[in-house]
Amino acid sequence: MAQGQMAPGIVAGRLSSDELTSNFTDLHPPLAPHEAAVAADRCYFCYDAPCVTACPTDIDIPLFIRQIQAGQPESAAKTILDQNILGGMCARVCPTETLCEEACVRETAEGKPVEIGRLQRYATDTLMQAGVHPFTRAAPTGKTVAVIGAGPAGLACAHRLAMLGHDVVIHEAKPKPGGLNEYGIAAYKATNDFAQAEVDWLLKIGGIAIETVSVLGDTISLDGLLEAYDAVFLSIGLAGVNALRAQGSDKDGVRNAVDFIADVRQASDLAKLPVGRNVVIIGGGMTAVDAAVKSKLLGAEHVTIAYRRGRDAMGASRYEQDLAASHGVRILCNVQPVAIHGNGAAAEIELEYTATVDGTLTGTGETIRLPADQVLKAIGQTLDGAPEGLELDGNKIAVDATGRTSVPGVWAGGDCAAGGEDLTVTAVAEGRNAAMDIHASLSA
């Protein structure tokens, strides 16, 4: 079979359109006003609230919940958006179970936290549905800033800079803005094209232009941007994918999980989206879980997550692991791929059991084979296309606490920058903080 041809086991239409529509409904339906009021009543409104400390964007959680309790969801939204302009998406995708809700006093005392994430969504959705943008621009400064990448960090940085009176041009490599929120988030977590609706709402601040299919290193260069703008913020994400070191990894049916997720996100008709009968996902993070659950929702019969270490070491939270299991996904730990078998196309995957010896992960020599007509690689992403001259920290752009890089006039944030977790909420915080430092630099 020629490379790139569809493997025979990967077909579209495993489920009917009605079944697919049902499968890809909202994972967590929004709260009704009465439900929100009841959920808000459970908050203790702690003075030294541990949930705030656990939030990467430092949202005043007790305050916004009290505002919901008082029947003022739009005021609550303003409290949220002051710190996190993408609070609507973060309410949907943020791993609250390991951040604010894990730190909640109710979780510690009762094992049932206040539903902070769903309350945040209730507030932000109420305000967005009202068509309200609660921020206004400061007087124009005459300064212009280029933001490279329209993902969470870039959008957060652009909004804060525009609010402070600067003019911003976002250069986005893809046809649509949104970054990970648009292309990489599980479809069942952000339904009804919410990512684009949030971008449209954010742009109401004014002073932000977006140029799509504007690619750093191709249509634009860092040197050219530094000549044309007063400052540059890099939020280029992680476009590369780690290689799968297994024999046969170039067979048809083997692809990157991030590309698979993007295809699902952008599909106009899920019934036309092909999926394997026996799908194996290599990896243990959120991407692996999202790809596994989506495969099941598309009609795959057998889906397995194969992870090289123990379950406690998985990047996906226990909640996400349980979500996968609830959809019939098998999680197989302490195995690593050694070969993908098949005549041109994947048919089986051979996995070797692993063990940790003296702190080092090693293969045991014992193997297992699983049917696999589709293998999705979710083994981590790498920086791809960083401009020359930037100092790197490992495989990411080195930055200081304010996001400044080694090149004067250039800041960076989000997944491409060293430090912090690769989370939407962390990217928003880094973009916001860098914008404040850029503003201080431009105002000096």
Write the DSSP assignment of 49-77 as a string of letters. -HHHHH-TT---HHHHHHHHHTT-HHHHH
* Same-domain status, 256 and 304: yes
Q: Which of 347, 377, 407 is the last residue of a domain?
A: 377
Q: How many domains does the chain have?
A: 3
Query: 279 near 11, Cβ under 8 Å?
Result: no
Pick the more confident residue, 185 or 158: 158
The predicted model gives 108-127 an average pLDDT of: 97
Say which residue the tokens 């919940």 belong to. Answer: 65
Distance CA 81, CA 133 (A): 10
12, part of any domain = no
The predicted model gives 99-123 an average pLDDT of: 96
Q: Which of 104, 129, 154 is the last residue of a domain?
A: 129
* Same-domain status, 265 and 347: yes
The predicted model gives 118-128 an average pLDDT of: 97
The contacts of residue 131 (CB under 8 Å, 6+ apart) are none
* Same-domain status, 70 and 155: no
* Same-domain status, 258 and 366: yes
pLDDT in tens, 197-249: 999 999 999 999 999 999 999 999 999 999 999 999 999 999 888 889 899 99
* Same-domain status, 232 and 163: yes
* Same-domain status, 246 and 366: yes
Nearest one of 148, 136, 153 to 231, comparing CA atoms: 148
Boundaries of domain holding 280: 17-24+241-377
Distance CA 186, CA 289 (A): 9
6, part of any domain = no
Among 4-8, 66-70, 211-215, which is the least confidently predicted range?
4-8
**How does residue 4 score in pLDDT terms, banded at 50, 70 and 90?**
very low
288, part of any domain = yes
Query: 385 near 149, Cβ under 8 Å?
Result: no
* Same-domain status, 248 and 231: no
2, part of any domain = no
Distance CA 405, CA 390 (A): 7
DSSP state of 404: B
The contacts of residue 208 (CB under 8 Å, 6+ apart) are 158, 159, 162, 168, 169, 170, 202
* Same-domain status, 218 and 272: no
* Same-domain status, 155 and 225: yes
Q: How far is CA 362 from CA 130, 282, 314, in A?
A: 56, 17, 17
276, part of any domain = yes
228, part of any domain = yes
* Same-domain status, 219 and 261: no
Q: How far is CA 406 from CA 22, 390, 392, 398, 428, in A?
A: 50, 6, 9, 7, 22
Average model confidence (pLDDT) across the chain: 95
* Residue 31 Cα to chain centre, angstroms: 23
Q: Which amino acid is at 165?
A: G
* Same-domain status, 407 and 346: no
Structure tokens at 303: 């889906």
Structure tokens at 269: 């008709």
Q: What is the pLDDT of residue 241?
A: 86
* Same-domain status, 198 and 172: yes
Query: 155 near 196, Cβ under 8 Å?
Result: no
Q: Which of 320, 355, 377 is the last residue of a domain?
A: 377
The predicted model gives 280-301 an average pLDDT of: 97
pTM of the model: 0.94
10, part of any domain = no
Helix (H, G, I), strand (E, B) or coil at 36: helix
**Residue 326: CB atoms within 10 Å:** 10
9, part of any domain = no
Residue 2: pLDDT over 70: no
The contacts of residue 106 (CB under 8 Å, 6+ apart) are 42, 43, 44, 112, 113, 114
- DSSP H or E run through 297: helix 286-297
Question: Which CATH number characterizes residue 391's domain?
Answer: 3.50.50.60
Say which residue the tokens 């339906």 belong to. Answer: 29
Residue 6: pLDDT over 90: no
